[in-house]
Structure 1
Amino acid sequence: MPQDSHHRPRARSRRSGTRFPGQPADRHHAHRRPAPGGRPQGAEPQGHRAAAADPAGHGPPTVSPASPQAAPSPAPLQVGQVVELEPHALAAGGDAVARYGGMAVFVPWVAPGDRIRARVTEVKPRYARAAAEAVLAPGPDRVSPACPLFARCGGCRLQHLSYPAQLAWKRRLVVDALERVGRLEAPPVAETLGMDPPWFYRNKAALPVRRLPGGRVAMGFFAPGTHTVVDLEEHGCAIQHPVIDQVAAALRRWLEEDPDGRATSTYDEERHQGLLRHLVVRVGLRTGEVLAGLVINGDGLPGEERLARHLQEQVPALAGVVKNLNRRRGNAILGPETVPIAGRPWIVDRLGGLEFRISLESFYQVNPVQAERLYQVALDYALAGREAGSAATGSNPGAAVAERDTAAGRPARDAGATGARRDPGTGDGGTAAGDRPFWLIDAYAGIGTLALLAAARLAAGTAGRGAAGSGYRVTAIEVVSEATADARVNAERNGLQGVEFITGAVEDVLPRLAAESQGGAGGGDGAAARGGRPDGILLDPPRKGCEPAALAACLELAPPRIVYVSCNPVTLARDLAVLCDTGSPAAPAVHGSGRRRGRRARYRLEAVQPVDMFPHTAHVECAALLVLEDG
């Protein structure tokens, strides 16, 4: 397990016995920037909202000299009351949980075992929230945050907690969700796979840009619960790639010093006025390539070509500069159109031995180091006994992808670069005619990362065998057509065959594949009808989880294995309750019989592997293996 002290950015220590001053979130502080070493909000506590940050802008509490423990008061808590608390656990969003007079009290920026003085900020019938004013005695897992802006910036929730303690808590988070929400008894959850070192891992940042009075520019992240920008100019960010700070610094210089830059207004969300909204930066961790995106409320920026040259001169790794046109109200960062200004509108990165093209809009894991570990676990689960060796690129040129006739009302399948339609008499992945290839479905495929890694491993495992049935085919389903286009290019780039891409919503496509596999509506001429039921399904949905129709289709298809990759333990548990038929009241009703050979398909939860994809945040990803009970 990675140790918290390994390669840890240096943090400025604070004097014991002093209060942490309440300062505006975007004010500069005379702290040293952490040396290089190496975000979404979490789920809320069941039945409660996550505790809010101190509205006055206070940071984490300062350690103070110990004082005698105050006896809990049986009197009801009141807003403004100052109490002493000793939290015993963390809630799902990262807030500490204490008990006072039988009531749960949620306190942010505090570690279990701390003894604190806190001021009550909200009281509800069953719980209260409080803001810590001082740590009277630190708990065993408390550490000094590496970032001077911790608790002022909304990016991290757990820098005050030792890294081993973070990993242990994230495992408990998964176990609790599976037991409480999914009604899965003694779920087989492994220890969380941590990152060493757990710093400077993010390969993407979307930084709001604000011009302050006097012309200075603030660029950074929003303070918790606000749209006040916390400026990163002096300190940078301890969890994002350092080159992102370099791009931000170059843009800041332009906006503050160049005549066209000084004439560029920044966006006011309330009035829907101003031009420059965000700077979005993407980094290829393995290749070093960088893409900068300028999100604007309009058609262009003053002197934008000179600006692009300025950025490329200041940051030589910049492969391209683009502008994204977002004229919409609201807080969506990217708009529908991206236009190149200089260089390429995409970068390349390597993951698992393959190369992937990444545009400004592409979904690509923000921590590729941990993504490799997560995907390896997922594919080990899905391909157990099917292939040998680790991931490797295939050797065949081009991608064997299928076209489909949309006029018949079926989902569109994007053809490969050759545009050739597959011959129904020839198996995929090099299988001889008449042989049934191993069939894996990758739902929620994005730019094809998991699908192509699976194809590469299958190609490596079957290469040279020449035996009947040694072929494979991978079906990748993705609702965003631009992502499917990227996936198709990535398949060709890596010379992988046996992959087909379907553009459509998973909840629409999977039921159609299920009907085809049984020779029903959709026809016996479909690819699924030729292959029978799949050998495995990979589910990697967004945080909201799978739609009921997608889960029902999984039960209809009834593959021997389902691998569920999740970024939300609560929706993972809810969906596993359906697939494992636990009777949980949290499980949504699924329509359709979900039956195979006269009875309902039912799965057993075989293994769960949490992976710390976002160190120092309240998020955890995991891969879960489900095995068909009678399959």
Structure 2
Amino acid sequence: MIEDLYIEAVAYGGNGIGHYCGKVVFVPFVAPGDHVRCRIVQQKKRYSEATVEEIISSSTMRIKPACPVFGLCGGCQWQHLDYQEQCVWKERIFRDFVVRKLGADPGVVLPIMPSCHQWEYRSRVQFKCLNTPAGLQVGFYRRGSHFVVPVSHCPVIHPALNRARELFRAWIDKTPWAGQVPQIDLAVDDGGRVRAVVHCLSGDLDALSRHLKPLAEEADFALFVQSGRKENLLHVCGPMELIIEVDTPVLRLGYGPGGFAQINLSQNRAMVREVIATLISNPPGRVLDLFCGMGNFSLPVARLAQQVIGVESYRQSIEMARLNARLNNIDNALFFVGESFGAASLYAAEGAIDLVILDPPRSGAYDVARELAQVRPERILYVSCDPPTLSRDLQPLLHNGYRLVWSRPYDLFPHTHHIESITLLEKVPGEVRGVTKY
């Protein structure tokens, strides 16, 4: 037991940081300035992990969480922190990654872009389901477990998705499928249209589809059911795609079930604006967009570039990107199904690449970064959702003839520890031979 621990800061991952007997102590759900009494739950060689037993005195940064299950649900880590303070700490944490891990000048880290909306910003959500004697429970996993915490209202998701959650709970509760539905995926687009994917463990989806179809049609929902992998989606009713809007004049981009769109649509528009503002004074020639999805960055950039080539491994996303290009009258964007690793070498063999955009998943793209150090495009725009993998992936580029021009964190996920970012690299003039191992 630690009787008196002062919380000095917060770390990436959401935990507070204190020091006890010369060792760092990580504590969840505390605020900088808190004095707490806590219990050690994990002893490591260089640090300890603890849980709060009592808050002796509260930080001035601490506020009352908006959600009654905050601390139980694993979704949010920082609802007890004032939103402005959340942004201050996210910018500080991100700057530390860029400066400490990459040796960059602090001045290259631009101010964080806060979210326009700190509540009701999520346009996509995965609800976990558990059938119990008291009825079907629909909510989220408890932190660090697969125990379902039921929720009646989540303050960070779009109101249409809260309403849809309750409707699907009622539609499935007390039916033969109540114990067969582990998850319901809900999404809403810029026009307010709702799409649902109901996951079912049973191989027979027809009866479930017949049960849900008239209910979904009456509610004006697009509905899909799925058993196993996303390639097994069954379209039940409603439009295939949701529509998001980006750029000026507006591009309307569709994405299908199983495809990807950012969960914070207004912040996604802000990131697209930043990319366009970066390129408009020096328009790119040939552009390669890796992990391109349905064309979120490819198609706005195509308005400036001579040619854009988009590469994505999920075939349905490429089909949507091609359709989006046609519907928006963009004829200089080509889209191909393929792995991102190897694409730069393949397309560079057909002609010089001026700009590479990459927006990888949380695991990053280290192999792609090493390949880019050999292909050597003039500019690289890296869109990241994970500062640790970003700093790892940039190292082989910065050690092989590239310089970091600027990097800006974006808050797409208020009340969580997650940090999105955009980073611009430029090739340093002069020949670089080989690639330094790193």
Which of the five TM-score ranges fits, normalised by the shorter chain? over 0.9
What aligned pairs does 1:217-236 form with structure 2 within 5 A after superposition? 217-233=136-152, 236=153
Which amino acid in structure 2 is aligned with residue 163 of structure 1?
Answer: Y
What secondary structure is seen at the aligned counterpart in 2 of 1:348?
strand
Residue pair 1:438, 1:472 contacting (<8 A) in 2 also = yes
| Cα distance in 2 for residues equivalent to 1:366 and 1:386 | 30
Following superposition, the deviation at residue 133 of structure 1 comes to 2.0
Following superposition, the deviation at residue 220 of structure 1 comes to 0.7
Following superposition, the deviation at residue 305 of structure 1 comes to 2.1
Aligned length: 427
What aligned pairs does 1:191-590 form with structure 2 within 5 A after superposition? 191-214=111-134, 216-233=135-152, 236-256=153-173, 261-266=174-179, 275-284=180-189, 286-297=190-201, 298-300=203-205, 302-313=207-218, 315-316=219-220, 318=221, 320-326=222-228, 334-352=229-247, 353-381=250-278, 383-386=279-282, 438-456=285-303, 458=304, 472-514=306-348, 516=349, 528-529=350-351, 533-548=352-367, 550-581=368-399
What secondary structure is seen at the aligned counterpart in 2 of 1:276?
coil
Residue pair 1:104, 1:128 contacting (<8 A) in 2 also = yes
| Cα distance in 2 for residues equivalent to 1:372 and 1:615 | 16
Q: Give the root-mean-square deviation of aligned CA atoms.
A: 1.8
Following superposition, the deviation at residue 82 of structure 1 comes to 4.4
Residue pair 2:116, 2:267 contacting (<8 A) in 1 also = no
| Cα distance in 2 for residues equivalent to 1:265 and 1:281 | 18
Structure 1: give runs of 5+ residues left out of the alignment: 1-80, 267-274, 327-333, 388-436, 459-470, 517-527, 582-600
Cα distance per residue 1:477-497 (max 9 Å; x no partner)? 112222111111111111111
Cα distance per residue 1:72-116 (max 9 Å; x no partner)? xxxxxxxxx242111101121010011111111111000011111
Following superposition, the deviation at residue 185 of structure 1 comes to 4.0
Change over 3 Å in CA distance of 1:172–1:370 after alignment to 2: same
Which amino acid in structure 1 is aligned with residue 225 of structure 2?
Answer: K
Cα distance per residue 1:496-528 (max 9 Å; x no partner)? 1101112211112112223x1xxxxxxxxxxx2
Following superposition, the deviation at residue 192 of structure 1 comes to 0.7
What secondary structure is seen at the aligned counterpart in 1 of 2:230?
coil
Following superposition, the deviation at residue 370 of structure 1 comes to 0.5
Give the alignment's TM-score, normalised by structure 2: 0.93
1:612 matched to 2:411? The reply is: yes
Following superposition, the deviation at residue 239 of structure 1 comes to 0.6
What secondary structure is seen at the aligned counterpart in 1 of 2:287?
strand
Following superposition, the deviation at residue 303 of structure 1 comes to 4.9
What secondary structure is seen at the aligned counterpart in 2 of 1:571?
helix
- One of 49, 58, 61 as aligned partner of 1:138: 58
| Cα distance in 1 for residues equivalent to 2:390 and 2:41 | 33
| Cα distance in 1 for residues equivalent to 2:251 and 2:162 | 27
Following superposition, the deviation at residue 187 of structure 1 comes to 5.3
Following superposition, the deviation at residue 177 of structure 1 comes to 1.3
What secondary structure is seen at the aligned counterpart in 2 of 1:312?
helix
Change over 3 Å in CA distance of 1:347–1:107 after alignment to 2: same
Residue pair 2:244, 2:265 contacting (<8 A) in 1 also = no
What secondary structure is seen at the aligned counterpart in 2 of 1:579?
helix
Percent of aligned pairs with the same amino acid: 30
- One of 82, 96, 106 as aligned partner of 1:176: 96
| Cα distance in 2 for residues equivalent to 1:199 and 1:228 | 25
| Cα distance in 2 for residues equivalent to 1:102 and 1:556 | 44
* Equivalent residue number for residue 521 of structure 1: none
Name the structure with the higher helix share: 2
| Cα distance in 2 for residues equivalent to 1:100 and 1:482 | 52
Give the alignment's TM-score, normalised by structure 1: 0.65
| Cα distance in 1 for residues equivalent to 2:411 and 2:261 | 16
Residue pair 2:373, 2:396 contacting (<8 A) in 1 also = no
* Equivalent residue number for residue 433 of structure 2: none
What secondary structure is seen at the aligned counterpart in 2 of 1:510?
helix
Which amino acid in structure 2 is aligned with residue 386 of structure 1?
Answer: N
Residue pair 2:160, 2:192 contacting (<8 A) in 1 also = no
Residue pair 2:311, 2:343 contacting (<8 A) in 1 also = yes
Name the structure with the higher strand share: 2
